[in-house]
Amino acid sequence: MEKSEIKKRRRHNSSGSDEEISFAGTAFRGYLTAQAAGLLLLLAASFAAYSRADPEAIAMPLSLAALYIGCTAGGFVCMRLMNDAGAYASALLAAACLNAVTLIVSAATGSSSNPLWLSLLLRGCSFLFAVAGAFLGKRRNSRRKHKKR
C-alpha cells in the first residue's frame, strides 16, 4: 500500500523540501487557526461591546460571530493544506474540537444563560461554517478548457 493511499499528502513548502501532511495534523492546524481567529475577533468584539451602555445585549451575537468566522478560517486552512475530500473531514474535526472546548468552558463556568438545546443548535451551525470555509479554500483550476473547433 502506498503512502498516498493512507491519506497522507506531500506538500512543497517554502524551504524547498517536501513535508507530509496528515489528517490529524491538518485538523490540528485548522483548530489552532480557528482558535486564534476566534480569540482575536472575540477581543475586538469585547472592546465594541463594553463601549456601549448595555454590553450584555450584544455579547451573544458577537461571540457567535467570532466562533463562526473562526471556524470558517479553520476550514479554509484545512482545505489549503490537503485540497481533497479529507480536508472537509479535517475542518469538521477542527470545528468539533473548538465546540467541545467552548461547551466545556461554558458548562464549567455556568456562563451560558441559554438552554442547552439552544447552545448546541447555535454552536452546531459552526460545522456549516467550517465546511463553507473549506469550500472557499478549495483551489480552482485556473486553466480553462478550450473547445476545439
The pLDDT, as a whole number, for residue 1 is 45
Please give the model's pTM, rounded to 2 decimal places. Answer: 0.71
Confidence of residue 98 (pLDDT cuts 50, 70, 90): confident
Question: How far, rounded to the nearest angstrom, does the alpha carbon of residue 106 sit from its chain's CA centroid?
Answer: 19
Residue 10 lies in a domain: no
Average confidence score pLDDT of the chain: 76
Kindly state whether residue 3 falls inside one of the protein's structural domains: no
Residue 71 placed within a domain: yes
Residue 2 lies inside a defined structural domain of this protein: no
Does any domain span residue 81? yes
Confidence of residue 7 (pLDDT cuts 50, 70, 90): very low
Domain count, the chain: 1
Residue 99: inside a domain? yes
* Cβ atoms of residues 97 and 27 within 8 Å: yes
Range of the domain at 37: 20-136
CA-angle at 130, arms to 44 and 14, nearest 5°: 85
- The grid coordinates of residue 76 equal 479554509
Any domain includes 41: yes
Q: How far apart are CA 36 and CA 15, in angstroms?
A: 25
